[in-house]
Amino acid sequence: MAIDLTSIILSSILVANIVFAIIVVFFERKRPAEMLAWLLLFAFLPVVGFLFYMFFGQKIFNRLRKLKLKQEDDQKLVKALEGQYKGLTQLGEGAFIEPLMEDLGLIRMGLVQAAAPLTPYNDVTIFNHGNEKFQHLFEDIRLAKDSIHLEYFIWRGNDLGRRLIDALTERAKEGVEVRVVLDDWGCKLTPKRFFRPLLEAGGEVYWFLPVSLAWSFNANYRNHRKIVVIDGAIGYTGGMNVGDEYLGLRPSASPWRDTHIRIVGPAVAHLQARFFMDYFFASGKKVALEERYLPALGLEHGTSAVQIISSGPDSKEQHVRQCFFKMINSARESLYLQTPYLVPDESILEALRVAAYSGVDVRVMIPGISNNRFVHRVTMAYAGELLQAGVRIYEYGGFLHSKCLVADRRVLTIGTTNLDVRSFALNFEVNAFIYDNMKAAEYSDIFLKDIASSNELTLDEYRRRGLWQRFSEGICRLFAPLM
């Protein structure tokens, strides 16, 4: 009797999907919408559902691996950092605390939930174009004397990537410690040999959660952080990876609009700590928090109070999402948001709608040119719901990669977190929350200036879309919880 191999494969997939369904319902404790989306995928597209779950859906196996160890080490490192500078666990005193009174709830939540102390007296510079950011970064690298630490989601092997490798290699040859952590999935198209000159000069390069056939489920958990710390004194974070497109050199997505910040001051110590946590997870090497890695502690460099908030699938709480939620609810006059992907969960969506209904001037800016058609359809589906609540939606005249939220020209956050369920729950992210009226007003003005390069999407225009477009957006939205 001949064996029907196809029947055996399909039967095996069916059995596997039943097992996956049991895991989803009884063990992983997914949100109801996410759970329902997976069950629908298993039922109606069993082969696709099987493949998607193998590569992108698994959480239970992840808990059995190193993430628990990583979380324990994170807590130890934060305690060690707090012990070296007791001021980091306090909100401040006197004149410094008075301007922060309206945001004490947000500050306290970051401290209690995310172990993120407020750091006063930072100097923060905002960059709105890759040319500005990388010009400063190359100069800071050239002047580095002791250590250079870099962590990126994407590092392309094009001209910018090569120039950055050359600059780091030169400093490594001069005895500067150079450590690099890269997301394996995000850098899949960049060959490992690309980093050989840096390695041969004594630098270190490690890949975060390597993805292979044996560990396919790692693909769902991406290190989306972008961190640079130079000599422990200068820090960078924001939306920009390493690639020519961030310099506006990709014609299909031009102009490319992004946001990054440069920090000098005590907050850099927390970017340094975040890097060391991820470095240990990727390399297995622990680094002692020597004084030379934390020279900015206790020094006054500027007027901005900053909290560095991190989140990821290793955390019980979605820290950045919670802070977004608190910021949205705290707004009384205006709320300006820029995000490349608008895929909020129900609580964030409802918070934006309630803010608009309450009379807050809520404005959301999304890309006019998309780099992902599926996600763009989901984005437009949510945009329609926000339009009905009175939120003003703008489509930037290019690709908008900026991830920023500013409330009442009072408090501002810039970082790596998109306003989507993936960034909230599955990616490793980091954001700087900046408590400084001048910086918040500065970015509010930047947002309003960006409107001049955008097209406002009205509710009437949205309703005039074709039937197929509305149908495809609705179908794509059903799978938003899986993204």
Residues that are catalytic: 224, 226, 231, 401, 403, 408
Sign of the Cα pseudo-torsion (295, 233, 205, 115, in order): positive
Measured distance CA(295)–CA(300) in Å, rounded: 12
Contacts of 367 (CB under 8 A, 6+ apart): 340, 376, 395, 396, 398, 399, 400, 401
> Which residue type is seen at 438?
M
Determine which helix (DSSP H) or strand (DSSP E) holds 323, and give its type and residue range.
helix 319-330
Burial class (CB in 10 A: 0-12, 13-18, 19+), 54: middle
3-state secondary structure of 314: coil
Show the CA angle centred on residue 117, arms to residues 112 and 121, nearest 5°. 155
- 256-257 and 399-400 as β-strands: parallel, antiparallel, unpaired? parallel
3-state secondary structure of 482: helix
Determine which helix (DSSP H) or strand (DSSP E) holds 395, and give its type and residue range.
strand 392-396
Name the β-bridge partners of 227: 151, 237
Measured distance CA(336)–CA(411) in Å, rounded: 11
> Which residue type is seen at 137?
L
DSSP 2-44: ---HHHHHHHHHHHHHHHHHHHHHHTS---HHHHHHHHHHHHH
- 227-230 and 147-152 as β-strands: parallel, antiparallel, unpaired? antiparallel
Measured distance CA(266)–CA(132) in Å, rounded: 23
- Outline where 147-288 has alpha helix (H): 159-173, 196-200, 268-283
Residue length of the chain: 483
Measured distance CA(129)–CA(301) in Å, rounded: 24
Measured distance CA(122)–CA(290) in Å, rounded: 21
Measured distance CA(104)–CA(95) in Å, rounded: 14
Least Cα distance to 164 among 259, 230, 261, 256 occurs for: 230
Kindly state the tokens that stand for 358. Answer: 């309450």
Report whether the peptide linkage leading into residue 313 is cis, meaning its omega lies within 30 degrees of zero: no
Residue 89 per-residue DSSP state: G
